[in-house]
Amino acid sequence: MLRSLVRLQQVQPGFDPDGLLTLQLSLPRTRYPDNARRTGFLHQLVERVQALPGVQAASISDSVPPEGLNIVESFEFEGQPLPLGQNRLLTEELLVGPDYFRALRIPLLQGRSFDDSDNANAPPVSVINETMAHRFFPNGDAVGKRLRAGGFGPQDPWIVVVGVVGDVKYIGLAAEKASTIYLPYEQQPGSLTQTYLSLRAAQPASLTTGVRRAVQAIDKDLPIANVKTGEELLADAVGQRRFRTLLITVFAALALLLAGVGIYGVVSYSTAQRTQEIGIRLALGAQPRNVLGLMLRQGMKPVLAGVIIGLIAAFALTRLMQGLLFQVKTTDPATFAAIAGLLSAVALLACYVPARRATKVDPIVALRHE
């Protein structure tokens, strides 16, 4: 689990967390009943935030990575109909504003990103991610193709793909790569059920107060929530796994300590019971190293037997750990070898201390021992 946590923290999320600040807004339907009012508020907010000192880019979206996906939608590309009887394909769908990719530093690989001209009066456009582009257009000609998302009814228009961007994790760092479609939120009236503001700056945490003031300047009664930096977003994504790993590590360390103390106590007691025998061996010419080797062998035999039994039991129970691991096999040889070595080393140390003490016994004192 420690190795899984380390590997999970090394996963590339697809966006740059350094300098990123995100927060959530909730526009009540009572005050913002139609799309025009909601869009007007968001336009004003982005303009005010972009005017704050140090802000490099700001944008709106309905989801934030790495665990904030809001919509999964069915889709089809023009000229690629599904065979009869096959379920519709699903994709992650995000509604975003201009500058979203720049705010999160998601690389643009082909074509263009969204701009202010992609509004409700413009032809519908979309940007897809690299995984979707490679899957459906392996020749690299995704830009200019058309797709439909939703129910595929007459009211669902064809949407032109104008760009391809890098993959981003939206359903967890451990998730496999998935297809993603980005749509301008202004072209999807009424679909922006929740709203996130993302901005990029050199010192994003220091802009929280300025952003609050910008929101209150437009609507003094509108609260903001879930204010997080990019680093906090990533920390939250591994928080549950980190807690489980820490909990198991604490219990494992406690078990290892108890095992070491137990072995030390047993070997110490055995050594004390055999003091006279040790004295006789030394009096008859046995070397201290011979006594040390004898005590270590007798102390380590049950330890090694226990390690072997433990490895067999652990191997039999590995399936119970499958859901807790990431990019580490349940039967990983390196992990089994490392833990067996650690247990043996702790046991050897626990045996060595009393065994070493036994070699320093004075034979005359030992012979008088009862």
Mean pLDDT over 27-48 rounds to: 90
CA nearest neighbour of 146 among 130, 124, 122 = 124
CB 1 within 8 A of CB 244: yes
Q: Does the structure show a pLDDT above 80 at 360?
A: no
39/29 Cα distance (integer angstroms): 13
Contact residues for 294 (Cβ-Cβ < 8 A; gap 6+): none
pLDDT tens digits, one per residue of 296-334? 888 888 888 988 998 899 888 887 887 788 888 888 888
232/66 Cα distance (integer angstroms): 11
189/35 Cα distance (integer angstroms): 6
CB 212 within 8 A of CB 49: no
Domain definitions of the chain by residue range: 2-237, 240-368
Q: Does the structure show a pLDDT above 60 at 369?
A: no
Among the ranges given (111-125, 236-250, 309-323), the one the predictor scored with the smallest mean pLDDT: 309-323
- Residue type, position 116, single letter: D
Q: Does the structure show a pLDDT above 60 at 167?
A: yes
Report the DSSP beta bridge partners of residue 367: none
Q: Whose structure tokens read 């704050």?
A: 52
Q: Does the structure show a pLDDT above 60 at 362?
A: yes
309/251 Cα distance (integer angstroms): 20
pLDDT tens digits, one per residue of 199-232? 999 999 899 999 999 999 999 989 999 999 999 9
Please state the pTM of the whole predicted model: 0.81
Angle at 207 between CA 201 and CA 208, to 5 degrees: 130
The token pair that represents 350 in the structure block? 């626990």
The token pair that represents 360 in the structure block? 């320093």
pLDDT tens digits, one per residue of 49-96? 999 999 999 999 999 999 989 889 999 999 888 777 778 899 999 999
Predicted local distance difference test score (pLDDT) of residue 154: 61
Neighbours of 351 (CB within 10 A): 26
Q: Does the structure show a pLDDT above 70 at 366?
A: no
Mean pLDDT over 267-287 rounds to: 76
Neighbours of 297 (CB within 10 A): 11
Chain-centre distance for alpha carbon 241: 8
**Residue 166: φ, ψ to 5°:** -70, 160
CB 63 within 8 A of CB 182: no
Contact residues for 285 (Cβ-Cβ < 8 A; gap 6+): none
Mean pLDDT over 187-210 rounds to: 89
| Mean per-residue pLDDT over the chain, rounded | 89
Q: Does the structure show a pLDDT above 90 at 11?
A: yes
Predicted local distance difference test score (pLDDT) of residue 267: 79
Q: Does the structure show a pLDDT above 90 at 161?
A: yes
Predicted local distance difference test score (pLDDT) of residue 367: 61
Contact residues for 130 (Cβ-Cβ < 8 A; gap 6+): 109, 164, 165, 166, 167
Q: At what angle do helices 2-9 and 239-273 cross, to 10 degrees?
A: 150
Question: Which has more pLDDT, 293 or 133?
Answer: 133
